[in-house]
Amino acid sequence: MVKSGAVESGFLLLGVAIQGCLCCVPPHLIFIIADDQGYGDVGYHGSDVHTLVLDQLAGEGVKLENYYVQPICSPSRSQLMTGWYQIHTGLHHSIIQAHQPLCLPPDAPTLTEQLQEASYNTHMVGEWHLGFCRPGYLPTGHSFHSFLGSLTGRGDHFSYQSCDQAEAYGFDLHDGERLEMSSNCSTTLYIKRVQKILRAHDPRKPLFLYLALQTVHTPLQAPNHFLRRYSTLDNRPRRHYAAMLSCVDEGVGELVQELRTRGLYQNSVLVYSSDNGGQPLSGGCNWPLRGEKGTYWEGGVQAVGFVHSPLLKRKGKVSKALIHVSDWYPTVLSLAGAPEKGRGQLDGHNVEADSRTLALNSFSIWDTAVRPAIRAEYWKLLTENVGDEDWVPPRPCPGAPAVAGHGATLGPEGEVCVALQHHR
């Protein structure tokens, strides 16, 4: 095991550095992922939703303002866990449906497997959505010491009933490999489990905690006291969505407070991320980005993300470095002092040392069409059906070909069609 007090590692591309804790224990790593949170759905991006905790954590850490994920759920999560694009894991088709015998490749070294080998205690709370057709494909089969949560991605937040077509209907709340009964709101339930894990954890041992919240994915449900905060919002989906996000914000605050209480905070690194863009028809907002979940436009793939840690040498920074969800795999292992093991070269880059110039987004729903989007430095290439646009764009280019290049130098408003100018 590499002693964190013996080295100084840095998020060099973030413009900051992580300094080792004198306690000589590798840092406790907390990764929080929110389901379907839109780029515009956080206070520091100008949202009407109250996210005071997230705003404070991001403001005291590093805001990732050039951070990309996949346009839908399972591909983003698989890349976090393996460091590979989904074309290498067989999960490029779409999300994993409950009736499909699909999963992470059993021979793929996962993030948690390697952290566990580096003496980390590994725990998962929340939504898995990476396959469950065999017991070995569950979170506990992928080196999580414990798991509480759902295996699919669209369950009721209070009853935990899940319906994925007629052949896949049932109860979806599991504690390890057994069913767990509860009537608590999913966010409340998951935060309580997180608190229990933190209270039982020995600060002298490194911890990896993966909190994969079901919120703010539909169905739009929230405790009444959060709904009352937004009684003046006329749009019902937006009101419920905002209440769910406030519940997330409060829960993250409780998690951080528990870290402080248990003496874990000073030696911790917390990463917050959404898994894809928001869905405007379900209350989400990606403004000022174009597009939504399931599209290759910026609103579908540019995510809310930040890093917060007392170990940061320089705080309150904004990073414009190009970072992709697959980068967390090698970066987290580097922070933990754990060696990388894998089949061939990773798609993810260690943001401590490597400069990424290209990011790939790709998935195909129910067909074999090649439909990737590639971001390369200041250019973005979109191919085939890139998905619906969700804001009125600048004047379109009539007669543009199926392959279109989009300049990304001016930010969201600069995502304009330049295919006709450069097409030969």
Query: Residue 129: its pLDDT value, please?
Result: 75
Query: Residue 207: its pLDDT value, please?
Result: 98
Mean pLDDT per 10-residue segment, the chain (424 residues): 35 57 82 97 94 98 94 88 80 66 77 95 92 78 92 87 71 84 90 98 97 95 96 93 98 99 97 95 92 90 96 90 93 90 79 66 48 77 65 37 45 49 43
Residue 20 lies in a domain: no
Q: What's the domain range around 396? A: 372-422
Query: Residue 18: its pLDDT value, please?
Result: 65
The reply to whether 417 and 289 lie within a common domain is: no
Residue 417 appears among annotated catalytic residues: no
Residue 316 lies in a domain: yes
The reply to whether 131 and 205 lie within a common domain is: yes
Residue 129 appears among annotated catalytic residues: yes
CA–CA gap between residue 301 and residue 382 (Å, rounded): 12
Q: Give how far the C-alpha of residue 211 lies from the chain's centroid of Cα atoms, to the nearest Å.
A: 10
How many independent structural domains does the chain possess?
Answer: 2
The reply to whether 190 and 310 lie within a common domain is: yes
pLDDT 10s digits, 272-304: 999 999 999 999 999 899 889 988 889 999 999
Query: Residue 372: its pLDDT value, please?
Result: 72
CA–CA gap between residue 155 and residue 45 (Å, rounded): 29
Q: Is the peptide bond before 219 cis (omega within 30 degrees of 0)?
A: yes
* List 21, 28, 73, 92, catalytic entry: 73
Question: How crowded is residue 275: how many other Cβ atoms within 10 Å of its Cβ?
Answer: 28
Residue 243 lies in a domain: yes
Query: Residue 223: its pLDDT value, please?
Result: 96
Query: Residue 409: its pLDDT value, please?
Result: 42
* List 88, 129, 240, 406, catalytic entry: 129
Residue 6 lies in a domain: no
Residue 46 lies in a domain: yes
The reply to whether 390 and 350 lie within a common domain is: no
The reply to whether 350 and 399 lie within a common domain is: no
Model pTM?
0.88
